[in-house]
Amino acid sequence: MKLSVLVGIPVMVLFIMVGMGSADPRYSIQGVYAVTGISQCDFGAPSVEEADYIFRHDGTGSIRKGVIRNLPGPVLTMTAEFEYTVNKEGRIEFTYPQAGLVLFLEDGTHLMTWDGGPTHGVVSPDRKTITISCGPPAFLTSIDPVGAQAYCMVSLTGVRIK
């Protein structure tokens, strides 16, 4: 009887510790979400945006296969690296510690790098759908080339594909 108690208590403590560690809301998204929606900056017409947002358990993520179809105008591609946190209600906050959205012309020529990107989002309780936005219009400054500035709004909706 004493042996089962001595073995049982450490096992229960182990399960409690694992449960507490996995309950950390910062790392509660993992997978690839295909998103689509509308974006617009104050200097241009609306654009249709599509991208894959990749979330990792360590609080980092990236944007891949990003396409911005300007109406009218050139088709751009984009990438980004970000960090994120998620609270217990599923609200997401994005930061861009290195640089923000990196934009390219269709032929792969670098166009510009913004200092940020979408800053807010919400993931559904079942983690199957996501919305991503700038929250209030984001004030972005180009860091390469230096100097361009714009207020931008983004509203994206997506589903988990991996």
Q: Is residue 14 part of a domain?
A: no
**Gap between the Cα atoms of 162 and 35, Å rounded:** 13
Q: Is residue 5 part of a domain?
A: no
Residue-level pLDDT at 12: 44
Q: Is residue 146 part of a domain?
A: yes
Residue-level pLDDT at 153: 94
In sequence order, what are the residues at sequence separation of 6 or more whose Cβ sits closer than 8 angstroms to the Cβ of residue 11?
none
pTM of structure: 0.81
Cβ atoms 101, 113 nearer than 8 A: yes
CB atoms within 10 A of CB 148: 13
Q: Is residue 43 part of a domain?
A: yes
CATH number of the domain bearing residue 72 = 2.40.160
Residue-level pLDDT at 27: 53
pLDDT in tens, the chain (162 residues): 554 544 455 444 333 344 444 445 445 799 999 999 999 988 778 999 999 999 999 999 999 999 999 888 889 999 999 999 999 899 999 999 999 999 999 999 999 999 999 999 999 999 999 999 988 888 999 998 998 999 999 999 999 999
Q: Is residue 145 part of a domain?
A: yes
Q: Is residue 23 part of a domain?
A: no
Domain span at residue 129 reads 28-160
Residue-level pLDDT at 2: 55
Q: Is residue 18 part of a domain?
A: no
- Residue 88's Cβ-count burial label (10 Å; 0-12, 13-18, 19+) is exposed
CB atoms within 10 A of CB 38: 13
Q: Is residue 37 part of a domain?
A: yes
Largest CA distance in the chain: 77
As for how many domains the chain has, the answer is 1
